Amino acid sequence: MSKVYNFAAGPSMLPEEVMKEVQAEFLNYNGMGASVIEISHRSKEYMAIAEAASSDLRDLMNIPDNYKILFMHGGGRGVFANLPMNLAKREGSADYLVTGAWSGYAADEAKKYTNVNFIKGDFLNDSGRVAVHTKDLPLNKDSAYVHLCMNETIHGIEIYDTPDTGDVPLIADISSCILSRRMDVSKFGMLYGGAQKNIGPSGITIVIVREDLIGHAQPDTPAIWDYKVTADHDSMLNTPNTFAWYFAGKVFKWLKRIGGVEAMEAMNKEKSELLYGYIDSSDFYTNNVDPAFRSRMNVPFFLKDTSLDQQFIAEAKENNLISLKGHRVLGGMRASIYNAMPLEGVKALVAFMEKFAAAHK
């Protein structure tokens, strides 16, 4: 079978090196004669896996000692609910910077548990491209926190400058950009993200939360979603997704082997600049995001003639380039080029795009 490059937005392409390593030990983990998915999450063997994963993630992201790393259930949408449950009061409020679909979903869910101040963050600049407000935001100084999505996977919008929210904790959804670039964790009260983009298979959610924000949950918060309960039980109040946690640990070690987040950031810049550079040079494809806010992870683009969309997708698949159809909210195409996508995959996509454009001009 020819090499297939998978541009899916999530679950997404994973490092081949890691998958081969997992495959090799799947039936016999560490000489135990059993698979890692069969052993107790409370066994000394599995506890060593869990502790190593947490330690490696702390190293990769330079997470300060006064932050807890939680491995939780429910995905990003679960955090949309348990965030206000843990950090806000029902009669209180929280600010939500809405810059696209996912930050909007988070704000809508939070309304069930606290009062939400919607702040429209996206706008069209003088060139008619989408940009984002990150300064002089109309924040409420009495809010429990300010929430934003650092990377909008559907619209291909990424925020690189961290807004200054003063004494109000800044909370960020980093599901689709975690470990893709360096971030100063100390500027945030909490960071969170599902694993299925840059970390591993779906089914586990990482929450990085400052210790002083833990222990204030609303009384009716389920124990499984209470950050203090989760922290007190080392993320094992009940059986976690042991395979996803184990796999995440493998990815963390892979990242460390190739040079960590700094090296990965350089690779991601090279990949995204290649793809955006070609789109900008073409009169056949367009991207409508201001270059200052273009996502390095998710690149939406549109064909000049939308009647060719289905043909583009079909021919791309014939050329071993899959999952390029854009999200139903936006349409067009979308190439998700997460950490595991090699530069060769982006080069193959650009070569195909050039060939397709030449055939249909």
Specify whether the CB–CB gap between 227 and 88 falls below 8 A. no
User: Is residue 134 within 8 Å of 159, Cβ to Cβ?
Assistant: yes
Catalytic residue among 68, 197, 271, 325: 197
Dmax (CA) of the chain: 63
Residue 70's nearest CA partner among 250, 245, 218, 260 is 245
Which of 68, 95, 102, 290 does the annotation list as catalytic?
102
What the block records as the tokens of 40 is 């107790």
Q: Determine contact, residues 106/80, Cβ cutoff 8 Å.
A: yes
Contacts within 8 Å (CB) and 24+ apart, 210-216: 210/66, 210/67, 210/68, 210/169, 211/66, 211/67, 211/68, 212/66, 213/86, 213/87, 213/169, 213/189, 214/68, 214/86, 216/86, 216/87
Please state, in angstroms and rounded to a whole number, the distance separating the CA atoms of residues 152 and 150. 7
Amino acid at 7: F
Phi-psi label, residue 179: left if phi above 0, alpha if psi -120 to 50, beta otherwise: left
Paired residues of 119 in beta bridges? 97
Please work out, in degrees rounded to the nearest 5, the angle formed at the alpha carbon of residue 157 by the alpha carbons of 252 and 327: 90
Judged by DSSP in three states, 336 sits in strand
Which candidate in 56, 122, 173, 226 is catalytic? 173
Annotated catalytic, 225? no
Contact 29, 35 (CB under 8 A): yes
Catalytic residues: 102, 173, 197
